[in-house]
Amino acid sequence: MYKAALWKLNIQNKKETIMSTEEEEIRARSFILVDENGKPRAGLKVLKDGPALSLLDKNGTPRAGLSVFKDGPALSLHAKNGKSRAVLSVPKDGPELMLRDENGKLRALLAVNKAGLALRLWDENETLLAGLDVLKDGPELRLLDKNFKMIWSAP
């Protein structure tokens, strides 16, 4: 419960504003926080898929986000241009960390799931070039060329 000042304003009947202070729950689908100049700097919304918090820089560009959707929670960090650079999520299979370059292209993935640990590396064209898995049977390392052809592997 929060202490809140409740304001009631009935414009149709031109009644006076009434202010009272009581312990109340505040309910809304969305909250927008603004800076001293009235620019949005943070937003908390309940979207169709779940709640999301967005933090904006002084230019209104999203820089960080936290969400909880059906697949699980996710934390995303964005560059000055608003493009996602890092996403930490926890889907039902296990946690994942995705890293993207300055153009927003996926470059690295680290995942832990029931099968084990997986590391994937992509080039600037998002071509998968390397994979390392640590499984119950032991580690596996694969190196691929730009045509996705295996050039080296070790069990």
Q: Give the span between the Cα atoms of 56 and 40, in whole angstroms.
A: 7
Name the token pair of 89.
């999520």
What does each of the 155 residues of the chain score in pLDDT, given as a tens digit?
344 444 444 344 444 444 445 667 888 889 999 999 999 999 999 999 999 999 999 999 999 999 999 999 999 999 999 999 999 999 999 999 999 999 999 999 999 999 999 999 999 999 999 999 999 999 999 999 999 899 999 98
Contact of 87 with 76, CB cutoff 8 Å: yes
Does the domain made of 30-114 have the CATH classification 3.90.930.1?
A: yes
Name the token pair of 136.
């119950």
In sequence order, which residues have a C-beta less than 8 Å from that of residue 70 and are 6 or more positions away?
A: 49, 50
